[in-house]
Chain A
């Protein structure tokens, strides 16, 4: 055995972690190599010094603190962050937890957004069938609202307002009046839980 190989094994030799065959080889080498023998001696001296390392005593309250923290933890409700942490740590329930969260929070949020639309139905006199583009253009320009629909052969203009959006009815009237010889007969503001498509369908009818 060469010195380099023997030295790499000296720690395991000192730790008594070598098989008998390897131990014999090392011992044989150590008997014939003064440098490696000195290295072994130095290493064992260093690790004898480890025995000097002081030990500390746990505080007398240690166990009580742990028990108290466990009790507190059991009283505390599980937070969303902890569910996320758990999902990240455990790959199998990860998808299940993710789906659960989507089901619980994201889907209702999307549904509520889409269903929280408010519609403004305006009965307009003088609307010419298939010639409503100026009304739409004016409404979009003046009120800034893009969701405007007028069903063919209908005198009802429908403005759909998303959640949190408002419209000034005076501006709506001005926009319709400026688009041509039209007269707004009445306004109906309806908060609806139905989807936009349903509102439009109703207008179409």
Chain B
């Protein structure tokens, strides 16, 4: 609740043209925002570019900002919409997914790191195979710890729909990841 109040106070300062307040917001949220986008698009460079777009949108929307909901809900709504816009622009996103991201086994000398990277790839590949709404719902729930209610506000649907989205998403993920779990690769 304290964080929630802090964010809203900062955002209201940004609304009045306070640039240091905007920097504080960026400093606080840049990492979770970039990671959310990274998990969605699967590419570091693209994730940073989209995150830049997100914070520019935050800055531009500051004048119209009204603290109706939690700041994080508002922020992740922008994140989600920007990710969806990017997906529309670049339909070949899944093709670029593995471009720079899968580590080359020959390049790594440490087996532990290799194993971690490999299991990471399985998880990422499984998430990337989900439809966009299921994918973002899983990411927001699993990595950002958002409640069904918050996700419903972000995706503009009912909590029942979020429950259904996550049910189908997680069953799909289970199907994809169970074989690796059984083989002990994860």
Contacts and interface: CB of A to CB of B under 8 A. Distances in A.
A62 B163 contact: no
A12 B166 CA distance: 8
Interface residues of B, number: 42
Interface string B135-177: 0000001110001100000000001000100110011011001
Nearest to A55: B35
A62 B142 contact: no
A93 B60 CA distance: 18
A11 B170 contact: yes
B124 interface: yes
B30 A53 contact: no
B32 to A, nearest CB: 9
Given A15-B148, A66-B26, A52 B119 contact: yes
Nearest to B148: A17
Interface string A144-158: 000000000000000
Interface in B94-153: 116-117, 119-120, 123-124, 141-143, 147-148
B30 A62 contact: yes
Interface stretch (A38-46, A100-108, A109-117): A38-46
Interface residues on A, range: 20 to 34
A111 B164 CA distance: 59
B18 interface: no
Contacts, number: 89
Interface in A63-110: 63, 65-67, 69-70, 73
A63 B60 CA distance: 15
A73 B56 contact: yes
A57 interface: yes
Given A17-B147, A53-B39, A11 B31 contact: no
A8 interface: yes
Interface of A: 8, 11-12, 15, 17, 42-43, 45-47, 49-50, 52-59, 62-63, 65-67, 69-70, 73
22 contacts: A11-B166, A12-B148, A12-B163, A12-B167, A15-B166, A17-B147, A17-B159, A46-B170, A46-B174, A46-B178, A49-B119, A52-B186, A53-B123, A53-B124, A54-B120, A56-B47, A57-B31, A62-B30, A63-B26, A63-B30, A66-B26, A70-B56
